[in-house]
Amino acid sequence: MRFPQPVSLKELANLIHAEIVGDENMMVVGLNEIHRIEKGELVFVDHPKYYDKALNSNATFVLINKNVEAPEGKALLISQKPFDDFNKIIRHYANLELNLESLGTNCRIAPSARIHKTVSIGDNVVIGENVVIHPHVSIYSNVQIGDNTVIHANTVLGSHAFYYKKKESGYDNLVTCGRLIIEQDVEIGANCTIDKGVTADTIIGAGTKIDNLVQIGHDTVLGKKCLFASQVGVAGCVTIEDNVTLWGQVGLASGITIKKNAVLYAQSGTNKTLEGDKVYFGSPAEDARKKMKELAMIKRIPELLDFIRNHKE
C-alpha cells in the first residue's frame, strides 16, 4: 500500500507511540509485506526467526519488537506489538470504510461495459472496454478489470485476505489494503473467489481462463494465458507463470512458484516449486509418467506377494 503522500518517520512513530532508531525526518512512501517490499516502504516483523530477513530486505523502514541497531540507510520503529501497530497504520492512511451502496465512489467504468443491474461495485473500481459482468457478481473496492473480460454469475472479486495472527484471545487479521488487478481478455467462471493483496496486488494475467468454483488467495500472481479447471484452490503468495494449466481440484500451497508451461493433472497438489515445460500428477505432485508407473506397480503388489509366497513353499 502506498500512502497518499510520503509520511515522515516521526509522524508514524507518534501515531503508534513507537521509539525511533535512525533519522526521524526520513520519508516513508508506504508499507508492504516482506515478499513484496520495496525501497522507501515499511515492513513489520515480530518473530526472532525473521528479524534478519526483515532487516536485510529491500525495506527502508522496519517496525520491530527488538532494540537493535538500524542497518546503514535504514531506520527502525521499535514497538511491543508490531502486528497491531502495522494494522493501526493501515487503518489510519487507507480508506477502508465499507460502502453499502451498489455502486461505490471514484469508479471508472467504460461506456461499452455491460454490467447486470444486480452487480455490486465498491470504491475505486476500474472496469475496461467491452467487459461483461453477469448477475450477482460482487466487486470489492480497489479492483481493476481489463478490457474484453467476462465475469460469470455469483463470483466475488477482491475479498479480504485469509491472513491471521494467533493470539491468546483468538485470531487477529492483518488488515487488507491491497488491490486485485485483472488484465485484459480474461474469463472468470461462476462462483469463483479471488482475494485482493494484503498490502500489494493480486494479479490475473492477460488471456487467462478460469472455470467455475475456483479460489485464488491473496497476493498470488498469475501469468498470461493460464487455464484453470473447476475447484482449483490456490493459496496466497503463489507465483504462476505463463501458460500454466491446472486441471480440476488441483491444490497449491502458499509461497511457491509454478513455472512456465507446466501442467498439473486433476487432484494433484504440491507445497514445492515446480519446474516448467513438464506434466505433473499426484500429491505430492511428481513427473506424471513416473507417478503413473508407480501406480501401476502398486496394483501389482498382490501378484508379487503371491509370487513370493509360492516360491517360499
Among residues 263, 225, 223, the alpha carbon closest in space to that of 239 is found at 223
- Identify the pLDDT of residue 100: 64
Whether residue 310 lies inside any domain: the answer is no
Please tell me whether residues 7 and 144 are part of one structural domain. no
- 305 located within any domain: no
Please indicate, yes or no, whether residues 68 and 156 belong to a single structural domain of this protein.
Answer: no
Q: Is residue 157 part of a domain?
A: yes
Q: Is the dihedral of CA 140, 184, 188, 179 positive or negative?
A: negative
Confidence of residue 263 (pLDDT cuts 50, 70, 90): very high
- How far, rounded to the nearest angstrom, does the alpha carbon of residue 66 sit from its chain's CA centroid? 28
What are the residue numbers of the active site? 218
Q: Tell me: do 141 and 236 sit in the same domain.
A: yes
Same domain, 162 and 58: no
Per-residue pLDDT tens digits for 82-139? 999 999 999 999 877 766 678 889 999 999 999 999 999 999 999 999 999 999 999 9
Could you tell me if residue 313 is inside a domain?
no
Which residues span the domain enclosing 173?
A: 108-291
CATH no. for residue 144? 2.160.10.10
Q: Tens digit of pLDDT for each residue in 299-313?
A: 888 888 887 888 775
Within this chain, do residues 23 and 143 fall inside the same structural domain, yes or no? no
Residue from 97, 89, 82, 79 nearest 30 by CA: 89
Same domain for 148 and 254: yes
pLDDT in tens, 65-93: 999 999 999 999 999 999 999 999 999 99
Q: How far apart are CA 3 and CA 12, in angstroms?
A: 12
> Does a structural domain hold residue 258?
yes
* Residue labelled with grid coordinates 520519508: 27
Whether residue 116 is found in the same domain as residue 208: yes
Last residue of some domain: 66, 93, 120? Answer: 93
- Residue 51 maps to which CATH number? 3.40.1390.10
Q: For residue 297, tell me if it sits in a domain.
A: no
Q: What is the DSSP string of 247-310?
A: -TT-EE-TT-EE-TT-EE-TT-EESS-B-SS-EEETTTTEEHHHHHHHHHHHHTHHHHHHHHHH
